[in-house]
Amino acid sequence: DAGITQSPRHKVTETGTPVTLRCHQTENHRYMYWYRQDPGHGLRLIHYSYGVKDTDKGEVSDGYSVSRSKTEDFLLTLESATSSQTSVYFCAISANRVVNYGYTFGSGTRLTVV
Amino acid sequence: ILNVEQSPQSLHVQEGDSTNFTCSFPSSNFYALHWYRWETAKSPEALFVMTLNGDEKKKGRISATLNTKEGYSYLYIKGSQPEDSATYLCALFRGGGSQGNLIFGKGTKLSVKP
């Protein structure tokens, strides 16, 4: 998707290992989000950022941490991966005044924890 | 817990049929409602952002209405085509000011048979 890229696209990791997913944007948007998508649950918010070094928790934040040291990058870290964190992870961005603009989503990262 | 409910969960129609689905949400402290279209193996794409009671939005054969007092939104597709096959998500924006984020429903999966 134009302006937002996620890496890696696919990853298999072992239980107990730390994993970092990267979201990179070239739109200079203030807001960035991490969601996970699981069957039967839809998209659930993990963490979000409303500016550099400004982050907050979403509804499923346990076991995850984030960092945003510059506008373009938002990193999601699984501190010690568990099988329950096997999922597809989507990053999203939006411009100022979130109420008036839709989100732009990345292509997703499929993470498998074995 | 903020619940955004979508119905039906899935829908199968023939090419040329018109169809509609429902998104229900808590009516208190309303800010905005988003609709997204999500094709298989792709990322969600924003269709509409609706903020005012009575809002009606249209894009081609797809339109949406909003009732914030009773807490529902309808998405209509006129003359469905196979390329309309996708999952349609609604999402409620919560929080005001510079923060806030979207809470997604689980979606309505539409399949259009030629």
pLDDT tens, position by position, A5-55? 999 999 999 999 999 999 999 999 999 999 999 988 889 999 999 899 999
CA atoms within 13 A on the CB side of A74: 33
What is the predicted pLDDT for the residue at B96?
59
Evaluate whether A45 touches A98 at the Cβ level (below 8 Å): no
Evaluate whether B73 touches B65 at the Cβ level (below 8 Å): yes
Evaluate whether B19 touches A70 at the Cβ level (below 8 Å): no
Contacts of A100 in chain B (CB under 8 A): 32, 49, 51
Residue-wise pLDDT tens digits, A71-101:
999 999 999 999 999 999 999 998 865 567 7
Percentage of chain B lying above the pLDDT 70 cut: 95
Confidence of residue B4 (pLDDT cuts 50, 70, 90): very high
CA–CA distance from A47 to each of A41, B21, B58 (Å)?
17, 29, 32
- Would the CB atoms of A105 and B44 count as touching at under 8 Å? yes
Q: Mark which residues 13-72 of B lie under 8 Å from A by CB.
A: 31-32, 34, 36, 42-49, 51
Evaluate whether B33 touches B92 at the Cβ level (below 8 Å): yes
What is the predicted pLDDT for the residue at B99?
64
Report yes or no: B93 at the A interface, CB cutoff 8 Å: yes
SS3 A83: helix
Say if residue A1's pLDDT is above 60: no
Say if residue B102's pLDDT is above 90: no
What is the predicted pLDDT for the residue at A8?
97
Say if residue B85's pLDDT is above 80: yes
Q: Are strands B19-24 and B72-77 parallel, antiparallel or unpaired?
A: antiparallel
- Residue by residue, DSSP assigns B24-76 as E---TT--EEEEEEE-TTS--EEEEEE-STT-EEEETTEEEEEETTTTEEEEE
The per-residue pLDDT of chain B, averaged, comes to: 92
Please give the residue that has the higher pLDDT: either B98 or A60. A60
What is the predicted pLDDT for the residue at A41?
86
- Would the CB atoms of A50 and B99 count as touching at under 8 Å? yes
SS3 A65: strand
Q: Which of A52-61, B77-86, B94-103 has the lowest mean pLDDT?
A: B94-103
Distance in Å, alpha carbon of B40 to nearest chain A alpha carbon: 11
Q: Is A35 exposed, middle or buried (0-12, 13-18, 19+ CB in 10 A)?
A: buried
Tokens coding B40? 């298989």
* C-alpha to C-alpha distance for A55 and A75, rounded to whole angstroms: 11
Q: Across residues B68-88, what is the average pLDDT?
A: 96
What is the predicted pLDDT for the residue at A95?
83
Size of interface A-B (CB pairs under 8 A): 61
Residue-wise pLDDT tens digits, B15-70:
999 999 999 999 887 888 999 999 988 999 999 999 999 999 999 999 999 999 99
CA angle A52, A55, A60 (to 5 degrees): 150
Tokens coding A104? 């732009």
Distance in Å, alpha carbon of B114 to nearest chain A alpha carbon: 27
What is the predicted pLDDT for the residue at B12?
97
